[in-house]
Structure 1
Amino acid sequence: MQTRIALSFLLVFLFQFSPAQKRQGNIVEYFGKEKVNEIKEGKPYHVFSKGLYLSGQRSALNSMTFPTDPVFKDFLMSDKKVTQGETGFIDTEGNPQSWQSISTDDKSTFNDRKLRGAYVYLTYTSKTEKTVLFEASGHTNGIINGYPHEGDYYDFGYSLIPITLKKGVNTFVLKVGRFPRIRARLIAPKSPVLFTQRDMTLPDLLWDTDLKYKGAIRIVNSSKDWVESYDLTSTLQGKQLTILVPAIAPMSSLKVPFGIAALAEGTEKGKIQVQLSLRKPGVGVVDETEISLHIKSRHQKHKRTFISDIDGSVQYFAVAPSSNHDLEKGALFLSVHGASVEATNQANAYKQKDWGTVVAPTNRRPFGFAWEDWGRLDALEVLAEGKRIYAPDPQKIYLTGHSMGGHGSWYLGATYPDKFAAIAPCAGYPDLLGYRDSFVKRALRASKEELKQWGITQKQLERMQQKPQLTAMDHMIQRAGNPSRTLKLKRNYLQQGVYILHGEKDNVVPTFIAREMRENLGTFHNDFTYYEYPGGTHWYGDHSMDWPPIFEMFKRREIKTDSTINTMEFYTASPGVSAQSHFTTIYQQEKPLEISSIDFSREKNRITTANVALLKLDTQHLKLETDHIEIDSTHVMIDSDVLYLTQTNGSWEKTATPNPALKGPHRNGGFKDAFKNQMVFVYATNGTPTENQWYFNKARLDAETFYYRANGRVVLVPDSDFSPKAYADRNIILYGNADNNKAWKKLLKNAEVQVINGKATIGGRETLGNQWGLYFVLPRPDSDTASVGVISATGTEGMKAIYSNHYLINGTTYPDLMLFSNDIMQFGTDAVKCAGFFGNDWSYEQGDWQWK
């Protein structure tokens, strides 16, 4: 389906950068005119200097979840070769686009404006089979000899992928990312297993706090053997801490946590060195390196690290502690950063406050997830860490942020209204898709001069005017994104004070977006402030965030205790994302992932609900003056501190504590919800060599993607080694089907979804053929909390269909289950055959489904 072009969505990301907020120390200088010297990982083996490029093809607007990419489809699982002048595809205007030659500049970089969004085809002829490290930057993803790999589209210099060069011609197809430049080379690793200091996560050490620390460093395994039983030792001031390195799959890397001892008493401020050594049993040290850490006071701005419950990785957050060293029960300000901004820079933008502490999470990366999905979870983890460390007054918690962090403030504030007394979005947009659409609106009423300045042609403008023709299937898929539709939750802002700060002349997040929110709030909210900074652009100095009137407003707001709340509204789109506000918990929905709500009035002693199937009430803290409460039209006696109530045919009845096997806040779907809870990737080894290699590579690709996008740590496990007891209560991502993955019978033997070669069965309905791919999530049968996410296919063609790994990107939407053909990369959601949600009992029969 051809709809409006995704140009405006691209602008969202291109225009989020503030000139005053540049990345700090992330970009690696690869190679220039100077002779390339040996680097820590090994010696450069080959620098790509010539190749072919193909102009990019835009995806349809309705297929963010499954963006079309027929070019990559041609290279998947194949040894396809192309020549100069060969047609790559026919564009939407009927023009053939052909492969053309391109060469690097004097800095060994393919650098040309015409490369934006293009494909680059490179080849290397090897005389023998050998292992090398592939290093590239500027690409969103790539296919090497038919198998996909994650890219380095932010140009960080993190990419370092072990690959096996086959004898003869090896092909590399790279999709150019946000900047019209790309680099690539091959490196001969200095040893089969090695450290790389690219992208370490490290804390600051505090001389005035007795504290042990966590850091993380990547270990690259460029061998065809598993790294097993290795240990990693850190040495600081003669004190050693040793950890056992998790098993690392062949030809992959893993970011490994390690401990750092507390500083010796009397250590002076400055820098200090920590030695790291990697040992192999029976061999000894296989690699070692030295890292430098800053020593600071706990009263200075600094970085702290913690182990994330999402994946066991080490994450950091930055702190601007209170200037009052004796402060107790002070305020806590959660400040969420903009795109391209490190958390350290976010904290550095604030003057230290005498009445509270600023904590700044990372969103898992400076770009991360726009504070949605895993960025949302990171913000919650850092908020919990801030409360644990600084023990603030529980009624004095506040939220603010700038640009993408302004969006984070709108989004987190609407999603978790009882966690913050007030929010202050600065230069923010409330909704990610709304931000994209705002550029379409702006372009449609822009002058010719403005359109020329933005590089928008008349044909592109005409496409923007086309309205998307969404099918019932599109609506089912998009429903999974309702938790991110901030404006559908806007009445939750009634629980908070709101301060909107925006520059008068902001062209990055246009000022009219803030004015629209002012008008929006004005229709129902009576406690918000709006201020346009005169002459302010997107960034006009630290006052862009650290604006004194914001903190003066914060001082006058507190989170209400349950017993003082007279009226309250609470909205959610998913109990799995946000279920509770104060004394109410929306435990289950009648219609999954549509908006659910409660409206409480103490005066009327009434709760009105919408789309709620199971409700939990904490009556102990609510402290009503009566012994009953009216819920919709049902009078309910209050005879315990906690009530669970279920709705049947419009009438509410008390029920027992819900069975954890049912859907609820702990485990609710959709599919992306499986990627948390210390997830483990279990891949098939019981199939044909082609199947085994593909599923291993797909699991490795997802691990690479989660590492790059989320600073993540994912352990790969072959099905032959998987034991449910060894990974108890952890989420499992299973790659394969019942014929080729031995873990299927251990986890999914009785599931209503069964997949074998040549057939998928969903709720008793069979779909035949080898071209089908499936994503779905179900509860793990041996756990009250864990889930099983499944990435499966009915055959070789279906394995191509599951290539799209956009479930690890925010802004994409996945219900509990999706069945789709291998045409997905060419036709987007038109190739989806089934999508929908299981019932509250996780059954197909009680679910909500759309079939094509």
Structure 2
Amino acid sequence: MFSWLTLLSLCAWCFHSHDAHHERAMHSLGGREGSQSLAFSTSWQVLGPFQIGTREATWGADPLEYLGGFRALQYDPGAQFRSSLPTNGTARWSVVVATQTSGNSSSSSASLSISYDNVDWNFLKVVYGWAAVQYQAWARGEITVSADDNQHVILYTDSILEYWVDDVHYFGGDFFTYRRAPPVLHLTPGTHKIDLRLVRDVRAMGGVLDPTIDVVVEAQRVSGTLELAKPGILMSDVVDGKLASLIGSVALRNSGEDDIEIVDVQSSDVRSPVNTTNLGGKSRLVVVAGQTRPFAFNISLPTHNTSSVRFSITYKTTAGGDQLSTLLVSQNLTRRSIYDPHKITYLHPGSMASYAMLRPPAENAACSEGPNSTLPVLLQLHGAGVEADSDQVAHALDPVPDLCAWVIFPTGVTSWSGDDWHNWGFADVEAAVNSIPSWIDAVAWRGPGVDVNTWVVSGHSNGGQGSWYALTHRPDRIVAASPISGYSSIQKYVPYELWQPMDPRRTAIISASLNSYRHEMLMENAKGIPVLQQHGEKDDNVPTYHSRFLRQLLFQVGTNSNYYELPGKGHYYDGVMTTDQLKSFYREQTRSDKTTHTDPQEFSIVVGDPGDMGSKGGILVTHLGDPGQYGRVDVKYDSTLKSYTIKTSNILGLKLDERYMQHEGIGIDGQDIATSEGSNTKRGFLELSHSLEGSWKIGPLYQSNASTQHRHGRQLGSMTAILRSSGPLTIRHQAAETAHIALQVSRNLHQYFSADSKIISTGSWDDSPPGNLISIAIGGDAPPIVQPDFPIQVGTTSVSVRDSNGRWRRFGEGEGAHLGAAFLQPPALLDERLELVLWGSDVEMVAQVARLVPMLTGVGQPDFVVLGDSARWRGVEGALSLGFFDYSWNVTPSSVV
């Protein structure tokens, strides 16, 4: 195997100019600046630009990795690097001065703005659209510690996905500038090198203005012990003297070098222990060194007239014996009228606290059925980068105060709605809706009740896309929908051009991993549901094409929408959610005679992922034949014969509700089924499954007492199914060299989803805590395979995969193999839990596959991936094997083995 020095000397991809005016010394990185104990350099060495596709960076696809990575290169103004973007196909070094550097004795920041005038962006955009203004580059700077002793520092990396500090790798960064979970660094006096991978992404940075990359790095000194990662307490508002919800939460960061255990939390106003045991099952909470975790507990008001609440959190270091310390936290109360939008809190299925803004039905609302009625829920989904408690969101419907509905503004957990209102974000929507009955009890509400299964959904921008998602994935709950200025799918928003070249079968697998979010393929699920679309004619953020396109598709599947294109209007303006047509739509669709479901006589169901799909017309798809392909169910009701005829494609399992059991039989794929047979009809539904012989039978696809595990429920879907955790995620690893990766995965989960995760360092894999698992292993230390004869087997330096024909393929035999694998498997307990295994032949390859843990939407991670070393620069084409598991955990025919 060539050394990197040998490769550099032989490689024709990179070449050097022997100009006499080498300027290495001239552009040395900055030294000490003033009296600050922390200071970033003002001059940064930049290398680029290079091409990158939409959300491709997760897969690697960094051309400099072919040369050993940017970290292996030294500044040389005469060096030239081959690139597909600049004039003459040549990328060079340059020096950029930080446009803003600021700091004081305890912090320092630097703002970089990177642009390239040697690329014809306008022409590229004519050909490739917004995909053309996405690119990548690298920047190198330093931070100098002028203090006499080591400094505990957190590093904010706004709009940055990947970086190296003193040759230690960090992936995940803070692409959306959440500033929720920065890494903790322990810096010695002197200078420390920082290499930043700069990735321009239209979804995050825009596609209309000049394609600059604007990033900020900021270092802040911290305490070196337990501290609040975010000031105050996440808690509900007080309405008419009562807490709207009892759940509170604080974000805790361990900025020290020893693990910390939370021993107790007590109110400083009422001397009694606070209940934490029942909140997510976290009676004992450990925050490992460098970790940020949310901590939920119950809150009660000490007195009726209090203006704030205060709590003391008692903790100890796991290495410090019994010595206790205390962290104090307080929060001023916000008081609202019960009829105004106000904050409520609840537990997300991932067992951390979340919040939504709730507006109950108005006191003077003319709801015809009186106080004993149950009213529907009107969901309002916010756009990207907006908090639900902002006036822009929470008061968007103030012009329609008298609706006969419970209006709720969910967060989706974060200001970017977690994952575009998909798995994690949509679970938050459902948790918010299901918390309304608890609110009714907490405030002793005497008004109309709530029907948590009847929704009118609306939203703007990303929330408009979320409305399409709700409409196509929960059609039996949605009585009406109004997507405003929403995009049709991730791939349609910014085309997936300019990725590194890959085999079409690999392309198909990446695309199939996103099947559930391609709403243009799911429009048939909307049949029979009233839809109002609205879009500004001059929208330069989400092109009006998206709404026009989906309107056309609705028509072609036999349904219609009322479409309003607003002349001269852009993406957002005051009143965008309460135009005259929208106000009429809200009032009309929340009338009591409108909030009952009317099933069409003939309809279809299209399913990309049964794990996140609800029922339509009382039919729920439980399993697909090949999860890499769409499934389809066509239903027709003959009112004369009073019988149902069902046709399916790529469907293995169905559940039919009671309406189908009111008939003597149904016809499915030309076969008659007697609905009176089968004991499961007593449970209120009829379960049908497709047998290996090709016929349908009454009963589940598999026997629940079978020794072999089968995928079902929350386990279904691609790798993003790991986010469907009932309980906090657990990250377990066995070696000190994987501790950094475990911490990084935990930090990314909290950064992008506000998720809670427990990190376990153990000498065995015996423990099996609640919630989903992420297991990190090197070589022969992989966790045990629970499923007998599982189709992926890892050794010390090899991975074996069994294809759909039963043939085994072994990768990486012999010395020097560099392999990584990420794959789902069932954990030990027989339920709907999942385990994601991250394995590598060495620590570098574990770090490479850890990038695939779901974080950004649109990446497209299938059920399993085996990566070779070349994935670092080739991206997906560097995957040696990838694909999907079927219901019995076998590799599907559509996979690449």
- What is the match of residue 9 of structure 1? none
1:824 Cα shift?
A: 1.2
Give distance in 2, aligned partners of 1:377 and 1:697.
29
- What is the match of residue 537 of structure 1? 570
User: Which residue type is aligned with residue 322 of structure 1?
Assistant: P
Aligned CA distance change for structure 1 residues 392 and 263 (closer, same or farther; 3 Å): farther
Return 105-114 or 751-760, whichever deviates more. 105-114
1:839 aligns with 2:886: yes
Contact 2:626/2:650, CA 8 A, preserved across alignment? yes
Contact 1:242/1:258, CA 8 A, preserved across alignment? yes
- What is the match of residue 447 of structure 1? none
Contact 1:136/1:182, CA 8 A, preserved across alignment? no
Of 587, 610, 620, which aligns to 1:552?
587
1:703 aligns with 2:725: no
Return 518-527 or 813-822, whichever deviates more. 518-527
**SS of the residue aligned with 1:123?**
strand
Deviations 1:632-679 (A, max 9, x none): 200110115233222245422223574453222342242221233135
* TM-score under structure 1 length normalisation: 0.82
Of 792, 797, 810, which aligns to 2:839?
792
Give distance in 1, aligned partners of 2:150 and 2:715.
45
User: Which residue type is aligned with residue 767 of structure 2?
Assistant: P
Deviations 1:171-207 (A, max 9, x none): 2222346474444344443342222335863322334
- What is the match of residue 768 of structure 1? 812
Aligned CA distance change for structure 1 residues 595 and 664 (closer, same or farther; 3 Å): same
- What is the match of residue 600 of structure 1? 635
Contact 2:690/2:701, CA 8 A, preserved across alignment? no
- What is the match of residue 288 of structure 2? 249
- What is the match of residue 731 of structure 1? 772
- What is the match of residue 132 of structure 1? 152
Contact 1:196/1:218, CA 8 A, preserved across alignment? yes
1:340 aligns with 2:385: yes
Of 95, 103, 117, which aligns to 1:100?
95
1:98 Cα shift?
A: 1.6
- Matches of residues 324-363 of structure 1 in structure 2 within 5 Å? 324=363, 327=371, 328-345=373-390, 346-351=393-398, 352-363=401-412
Aligned CA distance change for structure 1 residues 144 and 86 (closer, same or farther; 3 Å): farther
**SS of the residue aligned with 1:645?**
strand
Of 44, 54, 57, which aligns to 2:47?
54
Give distance in 2, aligned partners of 1:71 and 1:134.
28
User: Which residue type is aligned with residue 403 of structure 1?
Assistant: S
Deviations 1:40-61 (A, max 9, x none): xxx9644554432333423135
- Matches of residues 494-573 of structure 1 in structure 2 within 5 Å? 494-545=527-578, 547-555=582-590, 558=594, 560=596, 566-573=601-608
1:289 aligns with 2:329: yes
- What is the match of residue 77 of structure 2? 85
Return 275-284 or 772-781, whichever deviates more. 275-284
| Root-mean-square deviation over aligned CA pairs | 3.4
1:192 aligns with 2:236: no
1:120 aligns with 2:139: yes
Identical columns (%): 17
Contact 1:503/1:538, CA 8 A, preserved across alignment? yes
- What is the match of residue 615 of structure 2? 580
- What is the match of residue 383 of structure 1? 433
Aligned CA distance change for structure 1 residues 831 and 655 (closer, same or farther; 3 Å): same
- What is the match of residue 16 of structure 1? none
Aligned CA distance change for structure 1 residues 779 and 572 (closer, same or farther; 3 Å): same
**SS of the residue aligned with 1:433?**
helix
Give distance in 2, aligned partners of 1:125 and 1:748.
52
User: Which residue type is aligned with residue 97 of structure 2?
Assistant: I
* TM-score under structure 2 length normalisation: 0.78
- What is the match of residue 473 of structure 1? 506
- What is the match of residue 315 of structure 2? 279
Contact 2:731/2:746, CA 8 A, preserved across alignment? no
Give distance in 2, aligned partners of 1:117 and 1:684.
32
- What is the match of residue 12 of structure 1? none
1:418 Cα shift?
A: 1.0
Give distance in 2, aligned partners of 1:279 and 1:798.
36
Give distance in 1, aligned partners of 2:840 and 2:887.
26
1:834 Cα shift?
A: 0.8
Give distance in 2, aligned partners of 1:163 and 1:74.
28
**SS of the residue aligned with 1:758?**
coil
Give distance in 1, aligned partners of 2:751 and 2:812.
36
Aligned CA distance change for structure 1 residues 257 and 66 (closer, same or farther; 3 Å): same
Give distance in 1, aligned partners of 2:730 and 2:452.
38
- What is the match of residue 142 of structure 1? 163
- What is the match of residue 152 of structure 1? 174
Contact 2:380/2:459, CA 8 A, preserved across alignment? yes
Aligned CA distance change for structure 1 residues 162 and 587 (closer, same or farther; 3 Å): same
Give distance in 2, aligned partners of 1:522 and 1:565.
15
**SS of the residue aligned with 1:135?**
strand
Give distance in 1, aligned partners of 2:68 and 2:295.
33
Contact 1:679/1:733, CA 8 A, preserved across alignment? no
**SS of the residue aligned with 2:335?**
strand
Give distance in 1, aligned partners of 2:54 and 2:230.
39
User: Which residue type is aligned with residue 699 of structure 2?
Assistant: T
User: Which residue type is aligned with residue 138 of structure 2?
Assistant: Y
Aligned CA distance change for structure 1 residues 331 and 754 (closer, same or farther; 3 Å): same
Contact 1:54/1:119, CA 8 A, preserved across alignment? yes
Contact 1:240/1:261, CA 8 A, preserved across alignment? no
Give distance in 2, aligned partners of 1:197 and 1:682.
23
- Matches of residues 710-749 of structure 1 in structure 2 within 5 Å? 710-720=753-763, 723-725=766-768, 727-728=769-770, 730-737=771-778, 739-741=780-782, 744-745=783-784
**SS of the residue aligned with 2:100?**
coil
1:80 Cα shift?
A: 4.5
- What is the match of residue 109 of structure 1? 110
1:583 Cα shift?
A: 2.4
**SS of the residue aligned with 1:423?**
strand
Give distance in 2, aligned partners of 1:358 and 1:159.
32
- What is the match of residue 716 of structure 2? 668
Aligned CA distance change for structure 1 residues 86 and 409 (closer, same or farther; 3 Å): farther
**SS of the residue aligned with 1:335?**
strand
Give distance in 1, aligned partners of 2:162 and 2:584.
44
Aligned CA distance change for structure 1 residues 156 and 816 (closer, same or farther; 3 Å): closer
Deviations 1:416-441 (A, max 9, x none): 1111101001111222211224xx9x
Give distance in 1, aligned partners of 2:596 and 2:672.
26
Give distance in 2, aligned partners of 1:586 and 1:314.
31
- What is the match of residue 614 of structure 1? 653
User: Which residue type is aligned with residue 504 of structure 2?
Assistant: T
Aligned CA distance change for structure 1 residues 332 and 263 (closer, same or farther; 3 Å): farther
- What is the match of residue 215 of structure 1? 248
1:336 Cα shift?
A: 0.7
- What is the match of residue 668 of structure 2? 631
User: Which residue type is aligned with residue 428 of structure 1?
Assistant: G
Give distance in 2, aligned partners of 1:318 and 1:674.
28
**SS of the residue aligned with 1:587?**
strand
Deviations 1:285-336 (A, max 9, x none): 3432332231223322111111111x22111111122212785412210111
- What is the match of residue 132 of structure 2? none
- What is the match of residue 821 of structure 1? 868
Number of positions where the alignment pairs a residue of Structure 1 with one of Structure 2: 768
Give distance in 1, aligned partners of 2:411 and 2:326.
32
Give distance in 1, aligned partners of 2:696 and 2:626.
17
Contact 2:501/2:877, CA 8 A, preserved across alignment? no
1:732 Cα shift?
A: 0.9
**SS of the residue aligned with 1:418?**
coil
Give distance in 2, aligned partners of 1:87 and 1:545.
57
- What is the match of residue 697 of structure 2? 653
Contact 1:317/1:343, CA 8 A, preserved across alignment? yes
- Matches of residues 396-435 of structure 1 in structure 2 within 5 Å? 396-435=454-493
